[in-house]
């Protein structure tokens, strides 16, 4: 099958898994202005931004020859659950012949999950499938370890942009790795490359750490969130995201009785502020803010797609957390507008605020 998928975060992982199973992978291009223009043109105006961008990247993938699109479903009262329906109808209307394979949680509808799995499995043996899954999981874990390192080093690099370039290079090296040994080598190589970045010497008491929380797509995909991690890094701040692929997989794939992931604890931490699941990542967002605060972070940047209801709800609850725990939070709406100047002003002012809090003076 000529397969493709939504572009989000370190995409080399999905690519690798599908390649391992012998599928022909059509890489969707990194979301660009063209992607956004396409997505906005063909999506309902009031749909949220991720739906539009993904719409655009599907169209670009189809242009490159994709026949099947693999994506995840949604659960709870969030529009993400309807994405596939909306996308496939619009694509059909526009005359594109493309099939969707949607993975919903296997604990809800195992039959359907199994059916999808069989499609992906194709002619491979179950052993091969298990092996590929393990391999990709290993790769995911290792990439996340390196990415977390990147997000710290970037704050202190002497030559602007060097860490980001190395990180892109590391992903390319991983893309070439096809077995356990090569993945280990890629990991070692990545560590070595990162250790060579020349850094400013900053005293531990002067270091600032900021967490990024919010809806998964705008948090994970730098090309549409003004490269928030890079931006914060270039302003001298260490960054950690609320979502990493391996964490997401752990939380969503492990059955309940053995699901001891950090995300479970995080959800519990936010329960005081939002006891029920309202869809999207609202509950995670609040829990993550509490979690970042307890872990001594200086501030949190909250990203939400414009018009995202779950995140609007969390936005209105955030002032209470700030009051209780004293952690400053900056909420930014992400949409197609390209005028980044005013968001840059907000981010800069926010960093002044947390620096001031850190050193007890306006900087």
Partner 1 sequence: MQEVYLGIDVGSVSTNIVAINRSGEVLYSKYIRTNGQPLDSVKNGLKELNSEIGNEIVVKGIGTTGSGRQLIGVMVGADVVKNEITAHATATIHEVPNVKTIFEIGGQDSKIIIIEDQMVVDFAMNTVCAAGTGSFLDHQSERLGIPIEEFGDMALTAQRDVRIAGRCTVFAESDMIAKQQFGFSKAEIIKGLSEALVRNYINNLGRGKKIEPPFVFQGGVAANKGIRSAFEKEINNEVIIPKHFNIMGAIGAALLAMDHMIETGEQTKFRGFQAADFEFVPSTFNCEDCSNGCEVIKVELNKEVVAMWGDRCSKWTNSL
For binding to partner 1 (CB under 8 A), which residues are involved?
A: 29, 32-34, 160-161, 164, 223, 227, 230, 316, 318-319, 322-323, 328, 337, 341-342, 344-346, 348-350, 352-353, 356-357, 360-363
Give the C-alpha separation, 174 to 138, whole Å: 11
Least distance between partner 1 and beta carbon 161 (Å): 4
Query: Toward partner 1, which CB reaches closer, 206 or 363?
Result: 363
CA distance 271 to 284: 9
Residue 282 contacts residue 310 (beta carbons within 8 Å): yes
Which of 245, 347 has the CB closer to partner 1?
A: 347
Nearer of residues 130 and 344 to partner 1, judged by Cβ: 344
In the complex, the smallest distance separating the C-beta of residue 159 from partner 1, rounded to whole angstroms, is 8
DSSP-assigned beta bridge partners for residue 210:
239, 299
Q: How far is the CB of 196 from partner 1 (least distance, A)?
A: 18
In angstroms, give the least distance from the CB of 297 to partner 1: 16
Q: Is residue 134 classed as helix, strand or coil in its secondary structure?
A: helix
Closer CB to partner 1, residue 45 or residue 323?
323
From the CB of residue 35, how many other CB atoms can be counted at a distance below 10 Å? 24
* Minimum CB distance to partner 1 smaller for 304 or for 318: 318
Smallest gap from Cβ 36 to partner 1, in A, equals 10
For the chain, where are the alpha helices, taking DSSP H only?
12-20, 33-42, 49-63, 83-93, 110-121, 126-153, 162-176, 180-195, 216-220, 228-234, 245-253, 262-270, 282-294, 309-325, 341-359
Q: Give the integer Cα–Cα distance in Å for 33 and 143.
A: 27
């Amino acid at each position: 099958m000529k397969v493709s998928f939504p572009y989000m975060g370190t995409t080399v992982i999905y690519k690798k898994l599908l390649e391992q199973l012998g599928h022909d992978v059509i890489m969707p291009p990194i979301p660009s202005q063209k992607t956004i223009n396409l997505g906005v043109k063909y999506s309902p105006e009031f749909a949220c931004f991720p739906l539009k961008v993904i719409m655009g990247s599907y169209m670009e993938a189809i242009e490159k020859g994709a026949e099947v699109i693999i994506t995840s479903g949604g659960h709870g009262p969030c529009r993400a659950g309807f994405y596939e329906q909306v996308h496939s109808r619009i694509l059909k209307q526009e005359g594109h012949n493309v099939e969707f394979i949607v993975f919903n949680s296997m604990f809800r509808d195992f039959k359907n999950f199994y059916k999808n799995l069989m499609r992906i499995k194709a002619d491979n043996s179950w052993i091969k499938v298990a092996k590929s899954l393990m391999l990709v999981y290993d790769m995911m874990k290792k990439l996340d370890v390196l990415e977390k390192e990147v997000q710290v080093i970037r704050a202190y690099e002497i030559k602007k942009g060097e860490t980001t370039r190395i990180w892109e290079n590391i992903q390319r090296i991983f893309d070439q790795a096809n077995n356990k040994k090569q993945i280990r080598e890629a990991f070692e190589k990545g560590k070595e490359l990162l250790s060579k970045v020349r850094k400013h010497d900053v005293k531990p008491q002067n270091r600032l750490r900021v967490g990024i929380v919010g809806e998964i797509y705008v948090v994970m995909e730098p090309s549409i969130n003004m490269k928030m991690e890079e931006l914060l890094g270039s302003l001298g701040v260490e960054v950690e995201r609320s979502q990493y692929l391996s964490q997401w997989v752990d939380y969503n794939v492990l059955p309940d009785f053995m699901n001891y992931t950090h995300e479970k604890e995080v959800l519990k931490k936010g329960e005081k502020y939002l006891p029920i699941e309202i869809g999207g990542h609202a509950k995670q967002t609040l829990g993550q803010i509490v979690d970042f605060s307890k872990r001594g972070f200086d501030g949190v940047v909250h990203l939400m797609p414009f018009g995202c209801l779950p995140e609007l709800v969390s936005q209105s609850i955030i002032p209470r957390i700030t009051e209780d725990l004293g952690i400053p939070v900056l909420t930014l709406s992400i949409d197609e507008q390209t005028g980044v100047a005013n968001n840059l002003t907000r981010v800069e002012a926010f960093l002044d605020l947390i620096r001031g809090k850190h050193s007890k003076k306006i900087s």
